[in-house]
Amino acid sequence: MIKTIYKRDGREVPFEVEKIANAIFKAAQALGGHDYDTAMKLAQQVVEEVEQECGDAPPTVEQVQDVVERVLIKNGHARTAKEYIL
């Protein structure tokens, strides 16, 4: 289970899956989406993949962002992935 994450400035802060879900949802909303539950399910997939990649080590924001992009594309949300990147 991910407990902390390294921010860009090097600080280690508590990890919150809701932040990932909110970012995905915001990108989807920009394209007309309105399903927060889907955003949360995708965020959970992101957490699972990050845990597989990082093990017990805290991930960086960049690592999580890369996984978000992959999960979105893998689940057929390429347009949302592009919006998320921007």
Q: Decide if pLDDT at 79 tops 90.
A: yes
* pLDDT tens-digit map of 32-77: 999 999 999 999 999 999 999 999 899 999 999 999 999 999 999 9
Q: What is the phi/psi pair of residue 76, to 5°?
A: 80, 20
CA of 65: how far to CAs of 10, 38, 69, in Å? 16, 17, 6
Q: Which of 55, 60, 79, 59 is nearest to 69 (CA)?
A: 79
Q: What is the pTM of this model?
A: 0.94
Integer Cα distance of 27 and 32 in angstroms? 9
DSSP 8-state class, residue 14: E
